Amino acid sequence: MPELPEVETIARSLRPELIGRTILAAEVRWPRTVASPSVRGFKERVQGQVIQQVGRRAKFLHIQLSSSNLLIHLRMSGDLQIRSAQSRPEKHDRLILHLSAPSSQATAPASPIDLAFNDTRKFGRVWLTADIHEVLGNLGPEPLSRAFTPQRFHDALRAHRRQLKPLLLDQTFLAGLGNIYTDEALHLAKLHPLAPTHDVTARQAWRLHTAIRLILREGIRRNGASIDWVYRGGDFQNHFRVYGRLGQPCPVCGTAIRRLVVGQRGTHVCPKCQRV
């Protein structure tokens, strides 16, 4: 599943292509892809709206329209593809938005296009809503925002009695982290994924806060990680510290990386650098 850096990369790539275009029609090819409203309501309400901005919140793509918001969660196999307006639908297309040529202020090529949501496993979902809080209201803070401070982070950790990694993966606690970037940040901070959150010291919280932000920014700088056939174009997988490196030497101490299962998730650690 794409995590914060991958979704941010997708948003940045789509932004110049989409802003200023009008949605001429929506072709829903798998009804369950549209989580809200009904398929009929979606098609009626989205038609005629102008794309004003393309951004991200947590692992959601946020496409701001002239009178509503389009939210997309790619889940396990979702992919957004820009195609020629004359192209034929592909086998796993679940939703296609037919878009006009952009306004004169936009930077995209002046020709109509299609935005296709291709999703092999059918887990991806799309919402059309006037109020994004209806969908995103329970999410935790953005780890790259100014509001995410070391002190608030430490206070939040101490308020829970859980293991460290499962809490970091909880999107209501902190938005955008997934398996890859959590493992990488914990290794950089020299903290074990099974450490009790209520025992984390202020200094450890500061280290982890710094590590999370550094790892995410590096992931964004490298256009995310390409580790399967769905997400393409990233380079961060070539710079992993521990994730997916079972048996390989730790880049800090040379100890062989081990794999644990934490909260039903495969987890990679250095047993020397990250002691419980």
Q: Which residues are catalytic?
A: 2-3, 59, 265
- In the sheet that 60-65 helps form, which strands lie side by side, from edge to edge? 34-36, 125-129, 69-73, 60-65, 51-57
Question: What is the C-alpha separation between 166 and 168, in angstroms, rounded?
Answer: 5
Record the tokens describing residue 19, joined without a space: 């802003």
Question: What is the C-alpha separation between 19 and 85, in angstroms, rounded?
Answer: 17
Cα four-point dihedral sign 239, 14, 11, 126: negative
φ/ψ bin of 238: left (φ > 0), alpha (ψ from -120 to 50), beta (otherwise): alpha
Cβ atoms of residues 186 and 169 within 8 Å: no
Question: What is the C-alpha separation between 61 and 71, in angstroms, rounded?
Answer: 6
State how beta strands 51-57 and 60-65 pair: antiparallel
Between CA 84 and CA 92, with CA 89 as vertex, the angle to 5 degrees is 125
The separation between the first and the last C-alpha atoms of the chain, rounded to the nearest angstrom, is: 28
State how beta strands 69-73 and 113-119 pair: unpaired
State how beta strands 34-36 and 93-99 pair: unpaired
The torsion of the CA quartet 252, 254, 258, 262, rounded to 10 degrees, works out to -10
What one-character DSSP code corresponds to residue 163?
B
